[in-house]
Structure 1
Amino acid sequence: MEGKKRQLLWHGMALFFLGLMTGLVEQKFTNVRMGLAAHLEGVMNGTFLLALGAIWNEVSLTPRTKAAAYWAVLAGTYGNWAVTTLAAILGTAALSPISAAGRGAPAWQEALVTGGFVAIGSAIITASVLVLWGLRSPAAPKPLPR
C-alpha cells in the first residue's frame, strides 16, 4: 500500500495548491466571503490529506474497506473545495447565511449546492469512521528484514 500513501501525499499537495490558487482569485467571486471559505477549504483539506497520507500505512482495514476509505476521503476533500468554490461563484446562501450576507441564488442553484454539501459531508464522515476503525488497534508487527 506504499503507492496509496504516496498518492494521498500527492493529492494533498495538489489540493493545497488549488486552495492557494483559489485565494488569488477570491475577490472575483460573486460571494467574496465564500471565496475565502473555498480558499481555506482547499488549504485545510490538502493539509488533511498530507496528514492522512503520513499515517496511511497504519490504517488496518481489509483491502476493499481501505479502498472505500481512500476514495471517500478523496471525494470528500476535493468535493468540499469544489462545492464551496461553486457556492462562491453562484452566491448561494441556503447553507451559509452568515457568509452570504443577504445574497441568494435561484432555487435550482441553492439545491445543487445543498445536495453537493450533503454528498461530500456523507463521504468525509464515512471516510473518517473507516479510518478511525482502521486505527482502533495496533497494526500487526512487520517482519524484520533478513
Structure 2
Amino acid sequence: MKVETVEILNEFDSQQISKTLLNQYEIEEYRRSFLWHGFFLFFLGCIIPLFIPLYTNPRAGLAAHTIGLSLGTFLICVGLALPYIQLSKLLAKLTFWFLLLSSYVGLGSQVLGAAIGLTKTLLITAKGFPQGPLWIETSVEIAVKVITSFVFLACIIILFGLRRVKVEQR
C-alpha cells in the first residue's frame, strides 16, 4: 500500500512538472526569437559604426558598436543553449523579456549617449566633453542601471535552468 502511494505521488509530481516546463514547440519559438533578435542586434552593431563621424561623442559610438555586437552574440548563445535550459513557462517568459528589453534599451541608451554627448553615465568615453541636458543624463543613467539589473536577473535564471536535475530511471 505504501509503495503504491509513493508511485502515485511520483507520477503526480512528474505530471505537474511537465505541465509547468516548456514543451518542444515553446522551446523552438523562444529559440527562434532569441536567434532573430540576436542577429538583428548584431546587424545593428555592424551598422552603428557607419555613423561615427556624425556622433557628438565618436568614442561612445564605437562603444555602442561593441555593445550591439556583444549583446547580439549573447542572445544568439542563449538561443542555441535554450534546449538545455529547463525553465518553467513563467521563468522563460521573464528571461526572454528581461534580455530583450535590456538589449534594446542598452543599445539605444548608448547610441543616444553618443549622439547627444552624454557624460554622466559614459564617464570613460565622454572624457573632455561637456555635460548634456540633465534630464537626459538622469534618464539614461536610470535606464542603464535598470537594464543591468535585468541582465543580472536573467543570468541567474539561466544558471538556475542549467543546473543538474536528478531524473529517476524506471
1:78-130 per-position Cα deviation (integer Å, ceiling 9, x unaligned) = 22111111111111111222210221212111101101101111111111111
Report the CA distance between 1:139 and its aligned residue: 8.6
Moved more, 131-140 or 66-75: 131-140
Residue 111 of structure 1: which of 106, 121, 138 is its match?
Answer: 138
Runs of 4+ in 1 over 2 A off after TM superposition: 138-141
Q: Which has the higher contact order (CA 8 A, sep 6+)?
A: 1
Seen in structure 2, the aligned counterparts of structure 1 residues 32 and 10 have a Cα distance that, compared at 3 Å, is same
Q: Within the alignment, does 1:135 sit opposite 2:162 as a pair?
A: yes
* Equivalent-residue separation in structure 2 for 1:90 and 1:123 (angstroms): 25
What per-residue deviation string (whole Å, max 9, x for no partner) do you get for residues 60-93 of structure 1? 1111111101110111112211111111111111
> Does 2:120 correspond to 1:94?
yes
TM alignment of 1:1-146, pairs within 5 A: 1-103=27-129, 104-138=131-165
The CA deviation at 1:140 is: 6.2
Alpha-carbon distance between aligned partners in 1 of 2:37 and 2:118, rounded to the nearest angstrom: 28
How far did residue 33 of structure 1 move?
A: 0.4
Give TM-score scaled by structure 2 length: 0.78
Contact 1:16 1:45 in 2 (8 A): yes
Q: How many residues align?
A: 141
For residue 27 of structure 1, report the CA deviation from its aligned partner: 1.9
| TM-score scaled by length of structure 1 | 0.91
Instruction: Rate the CA distance shift 1:119–1:139 in 2: closer, same or farther, 3 A.
Output: farther
Percent of residue pairs identical: 33
C-alpha RMSD over aligned residues: 1.6
Matched residue type, 1:38: A
Q: Residues of 2 paired with 1:2 and 1:139: CA distance? A: 24
Which structure has the larger Rg over C-alpha atoms?
2
Unaligned runs of 5+ residues in structure 1 are 142-146
